[in-house]
Amino acid sequence: MVFKATIDGQKVLTGCITSKERVGYPLYTEAKVKISESSLATAVWMLSEDSTQEIDNLEAYGDKINTAYGQRLHLSHHVFIRNPFQYYQPTGWEETYY
C-alpha cells in the first residue's frame, strides 16, 4: 500500500492505516518508509487501547529547517494521562537513531 501526501491550496492531504484488532506481545512490525520533506511527522507507532501510551517505532521529520529532528529517527515511549494530566517522554538523544 502506498500513501502519497498532496497539497490542495492551504491543506496537506495525508493518509493513515489503523487496525481494528488489538495486538499483543510478542509482536513483529515492519515498514518501508520514505521520509517526507514536510514539517509533518512520518510515523509508525502503536497506541494503547485507552490512548494513554504510545510507542514510536519510527517518527521522523523531513523539514530541512529543523536540523535536529530532520536528521534523526525518533524512537520512544510516551505516556500521556488526561485526568489529572501527566506526560512523560524521554528528553535526551538516547531515543534517537542516526
| pLDDT tens profile 19-76 | 888 888 898 888 888 887 777 788 888 888 888 888 888 888 776 666 666 677 777 7
Q: What is the pLDDT at residue 69?
A: 66
Could you tell me how far CA 38 lies from the centroid of its own chain?
14
- In the numeric block, the cell 485507552 is attached to 50
Neighbour count for residue 56 (Cβ, 10 Å): 19
pLDDT of 11 > 80? The answer is yes
Residues designated catalytic: 54, 59
Q: What is the pLDDT at residue 9?
A: 92
Query: 79 pairs with which residues across the strands?
Result: 53, 88
pTM equals: 0.66
